[in-house]
């Protein structure tokens, strides 16, 4: 617009371009940025909510194990394997011990039985068909030693008789995670995967 208040040719073209943009339904950059931030916040909130409600039932058991076995840093998760339908619903407990579990199977069995008892006291086991317990001990800059217990659950009652020194299994992944070549040595010779089962409610 000129000093006399008369619209100039440039101002007219600018107004015309804005009106054309509005007719085309174009959105300004600031609105796009605001929508992106909103979408990110909603996605983060949804993930946090899902993870909280997924893990919340296992928190009392995790705290009980941690209180009884100091430094065990237990992880508890449960559900059915997502990639294999029709498989039993598993309860997974992974915890650190202060001894090599594969060298003291009697002690490993004792720890595992106590963990089974804590599971009965702190969690509704009727939702699961099998309890898997993994004990691990990591040597600094060396190997990680593991031993697994598989406990059947019937109508919410785990079979403690299934937890014996002889029934414990040494996992094929009990190899160093630091030493060069560990990743290759952790793969069985038959080429099958030893990856943990993906679980979910």
pLDDT range class, residue 6, cuts 50, 70, 90: low
pLDDT in tens, 109-123: 999 999 999 999 999
Whether 1 is covered by a domain: the verdict is no
Residue 178 has pLDDT above 50, yes or no: no
For residue 171, what pLDDT band results from cuts at 50, 70 and 90?
Answer: confident
Residue 143's pLDDT is what? 81
Domain match, 129 and 43 both: no
Q: What is the pLDDT of residue 33?
A: 80
Is residue 158 situated within a structural domain? yes
Claim to verify: residue 77 and residue 130 sit in the same structural domain: yes
Q: Are residues 161 and 111 in the same domain?
A: yes
3-state secondary structure the chain: CCCCCCCCHHHHHHHHHHHHHHHHCCCCHHHHHHHHHHHHHHHHHHHHHHHHHHHHHHHHHHHHHHHHCCCCCCEEEEEEECCCCCCCCEEEEEEECCCCCCCCHHHHHHHHHHHHHHHHHHCCHHHCCEEEEEEEEECCCCCEEEEEEEEEEECCEECHHHCCCCCCECCCCCCCCCCCCHHHHCCCCCCCCCCCCCEEC
33 and 62, same structural domain? no
pLDDT band of residue 159 (cuts 50, 70, 90) is: very high
If asked whether residues 42 and 107 sit together in one domain, one would say: no
Look at residue 131 and tell me whether its pLDDT is greater than 80. yes
68 and 156 within one domain: yes
Number of structural domains (the chain) is 2
Q: What is the mean pLDDT of residues 176-192?
A: 35
For residue 162, is it within any domain?
yes
Residues 132 and 83 in one domain: yes
Domain shared by 138 and 192, yes or no: yes
- 99 & 44 share domain: no
Q: Quick check: 183 pLDDT over 50?
A: no
Residue 4 lies in a domain: no
Q: Does residue 2 fall inside a structural domain?
A: no
On whether both 137 and 161 belong to a single domain, the answer is yes
User: Per-residue pLDDT for 201 more than 90?
Assistant: no
User: Domain range spanning residue 21?
Assistant: 9-55
Q: Same domain, yes or no, for 65 and 27?
A: no
Query: Contacts for 171-177 with beta carbons within 8 Å, 24 or more apart?
Result: 171/134, 171/146, 171/147, 173/144, 173/146, 174/102, 174/136, 174/143, 174/144, 174/145, 174/146, 175/143, 175/144, 176/142, 176/143, 176/144, 177/144
Q: Give pLDDT, residue 46.
A: 74
Instruction: Mark whether 144 and 193 lie in a shared domain.
Output: yes
Is residue 14 situated within a structural domain? Answer: yes
């Amino acid at each position: 617009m000129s000093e006399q208040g008369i619209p100039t040719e440039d101002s007219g073209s600018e107004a015309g371009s804005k009106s054309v943009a509005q007719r085309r339904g174009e959105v300004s950059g600031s609105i796009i940025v605001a929508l992106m931030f909103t979408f990110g916040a909603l996605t983060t909130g949804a993930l946090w909510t899902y993870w909280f409600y997924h893990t919340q039932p296992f928190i009392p058991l995790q705290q009980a194990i941690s209180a009884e076995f100091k430094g065990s840093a237990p992880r508890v998760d449960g559900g059915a394997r997502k990639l294999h339908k029709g498989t039993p619903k598993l309860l997974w407990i992974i915890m650190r011990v202060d001894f090599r579990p594969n060298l003291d199977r009697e002690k490993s069995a004792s720890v595992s039985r106590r963990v089974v008892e804590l599971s009965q006291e702190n969690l509704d086991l009727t939702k699961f068909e099998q309890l898997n317990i993994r004990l691990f001990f990591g040597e600094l800059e060396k190997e990680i030693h593991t031993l697994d217990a598989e406990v059947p659950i019937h109508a919410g009652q785990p079979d403690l008789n299934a937890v014996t020194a002889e029934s414990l299994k040494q996992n094929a992944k009990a190899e160093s995670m630091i030493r060069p070549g560990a990743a290759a040595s952790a793969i069985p010779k038959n080429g099958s995967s030893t990856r943990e089962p993906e679980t979910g409610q």
